[in-house]
Amino acid sequence: MAKQEVFAWLKAGAKTIDVRKGCGRRGDIAVFQCGQNHLRFCIVKRETGKLTQLVRADNYQQVVPSAENLQAALNYLQALYGGEAEFFTAYYLGEQKV
């Protein structure tokens, strides 16, 4: 389940990188659900590593569009995932599937 804020970013095309805690999942389609609404995107690329390796000055707004700077994006994700985990996966989202 996606938060309403995140779902709105995805729907508007503002969020094109989704970062998740842990090892990446298989598959070529990312599905986001908010209530009864669903969005599906092609996954065009995956990266794994520490949060600070995946979310950088050149891409933080694609991960957290409302963030004013890199640290704000990192704080948002750390609050969401509860502390600093060692391993994350970034999914680069392509075109939306109908």
User: Would you state the structure tokens that stand for residue 23, as one six-digit string?
Assistant: 């090892």
Report yes or no: 41 and 16 within 8 Å, Cβ to Cβ. no
Report the predicted TM-score, pTM, of the whole model to 2 decimal places. Answer: 0.92
Q: State pLDDT tens for residues 38-96.
A: 999 999 999 999 999 999 999 999 999 999 999 999 999 999 887 666 899 999 999 99
Checking if the pLDDT of 2 tops 80, the result is: no
Q: State pLDDT tens for residues 7-26.
A: 999 999 999 999 999 988 88
CATH number at residue 58: 2.30.130
pLDDT at residue 98, rounded to an integer: 75
Q: Report how many domains make up the chain.
A: 1
Nearest by Cα to 79 from 93, 62, 91, 67: 67
